Amino acid sequence: MTVRRPRRATGRRRYGAPALLLAPFLLLFTLCTLVPVGYAVRLSLFTERRSGLGFGGAETVFTGLGNYTRALGDPAYRAGFATTAEYCLLYIPLMTGLALLLALLLDSALARARRFFQLALFLPHAVPGIIAALIWTYLYTPGISPVIDLLNSAGAHPDPLGAPLPAVVNIALWEWTGYNTVIFYAALQAVPREVLEAAVVDGAGPLRTALSIKVPLIRASVALVGLFTLIGSLQLFTEPMILHGTSPDVVSSWTPGMYAYTAAFDRGDYGLAAAASVLLALTAAALSYAVTRTTRPRTEAAA
């Protein structure tokens, strides 16, 4: 009796199904990411020059790295990066620490109604960013804000719009803390229960268990949240753009994103706007690589 060996899958059969499943993603990724990025890079290499005192029309001229030099040489663009750095230094530790604290409280044995609090914490994230910015602008504006009026009647005279950076950080905290709390809580649920039981048997209290066992075991989730938060912070645009009309300290180039928007739609300098956007993307890529390298586990990095 002869036993037939199973035929090896041909190349077409082996790679056909994965290629078919990946095709929609690759198509959308190409159309929505690669093509716009390529177009922005191409646009950043050209500029429009007018002749004849503006009456002779405009011509598109290849300028090479000229737009990048103009962007980097503009103090307003560099000031936008400085503002974003201050925002990151204030917002990222506050949001990460608060989300981690709330997740640990939800995961503790004393927590009750976990699902209700998860939903309540997540609801602000369901509000679109522009709507949230409008709501908080209303709450920040003296004369129409019931909160400001109540504080004024109590003897305090806050001026949130006079300090736009904390005001923007507060909006972002309201939007994103609950979302990241859910992520941390899901990671905590994956921590082996036998490890926690062993810690209790060894005499570790709730605080020691949280700091020495739970937090180190969800380090990957904390690093991932920090990375995504950093990338999102570099793209800060909606909240300060809404506050731009009410707060005099929020100028049109308060962040790199606002600088690119103003260059494109207020001044019509699309080459400069594209160069500013490409530089921002390169900065985000470099910082993402640095964060990934520094937060990688030592065993993986050594390998």
Question: What are the phi and psi torsion angles at 15 (to 5°)?
Answer: -105, -5
Q: What CA–CA distance (Å, rounded) separates 15 from 19?
A: 6
For residue 212, give the DSSP letter: I
**Average pLDDT over all residues of the chain:** 85
User: Which whole number is the average pLDDT over 66-80?
Assistant: 93
Least confident of 8-22, 142-156, 237-251: 8-22
Q: Which residue has the tokens 């990688």?
A: 296
Q: For residue 59, what pLDDT is reported?
A: 78
Query: Which pLDDT band holds residue 3 (cuts at 50, 70, 90)?
Result: low
Query: Which pLDDT band holds residue 11 (cuts at 50, 70, 90)?
Result: low
Residue 140 in tokens: 């920040």
Q: Which residue has the tokens 């500029």?
A: 47
Torsional sign, CA 274, 279, 284, 289:
positive
Q: For residue 287, what pLDDT is reported?
A: 92
Amino acid at 116: F
CA distances from 237 to 17, 25, 242 (A): 41, 27, 9
Q: Which of 158, 23, 186, 162 minimizes the C-alpha distance to 99?
A: 186
User: Which whole number is the average pLDDT over 64-91?
Assistant: 93
Q: For residue 9, what pLDDT is reported?
A: 53
Using a pLDDT cut of 90, give the percent of the chain over it: 43
Q: For residue 41, what pLDDT is reported?
A: 93
Could you report the per-residue pLDDT of 256-281, keeping only the tens digit for each? 999 999 999 988 889 999 999 999 99
The answer, yes or no, to whether residue 117 has pLDDT greater than 70, is: yes
The answer, yes or no, to whether residue 88 has pLDDT greater than 80, is: yes
Using a pLDDT cut of 70, give the percent of the chain over it: 89
User: Which whole number is the average pLDDT over 74-89?
Assistant: 94
Q: Which residue has the higher pLDDT, 15 or 67?
A: 67
Q: Residue 124 in contact with residue 132, Cβ under 8 Å? A: yes
Contacts of 1 (CB under 8 A, 6+ apart): none
Q: Which residue has the higher pLDDT, 48 or 299?
A: 48
Q: Helices marked H in 108-255 — which ranges?
A: 114-126, 129-140, 146-153, 164-189, 193-201, 206-209, 215-217, 219-234, 238-243
User: Which whole number is the average pLDDT over 236-248?
Assistant: 86
The answer, yes or no, to whether residue 52 has pLDDT greater than 60, is: no
Q: For residue 133, what pLDDT is reported?
A: 86
Residue 106 in tokens: 């939800």
Hey, what domains does the chain have and what are their CATH numbers? 33-295 (1.10.3720.10)
Q: What CA–CA distance (Å, rounded) separates 205 from 182?
A: 24
Q: Is 295 exposed, middle or buried (0-12, 13-18, 19+ CB in 10 A)?
A: middle
pTM, full prediction: 0.84
Q: Which of 158, 127, 128 minimizes the C-alpha distance to 142?
A: 158
Residue 286 in tokens: 């470099």
Q: Which residue has the tokens 């030592």?
A: 298
Could you report the per-residue pLDDT of 89-107, keeping only the tens digit for each? 999 999 999 999 999 988 8
Could you report the per-residue pLDDT of 127-138, keeping only the tens digit for each? 888 888 888 888
Q: Which residue has the higher pLDDT, 125 or 204?
A: 125
Q: For residue 90, what pLDDT is reported?
A: 94
Q: What CA–CA distance (Å, rounded) separates 279 from 72?
A: 9
Q: For residue 141, what pLDDT is reported?
A: 83
CA distances from 120 to 174, 179, 186 (A): 12, 10, 16
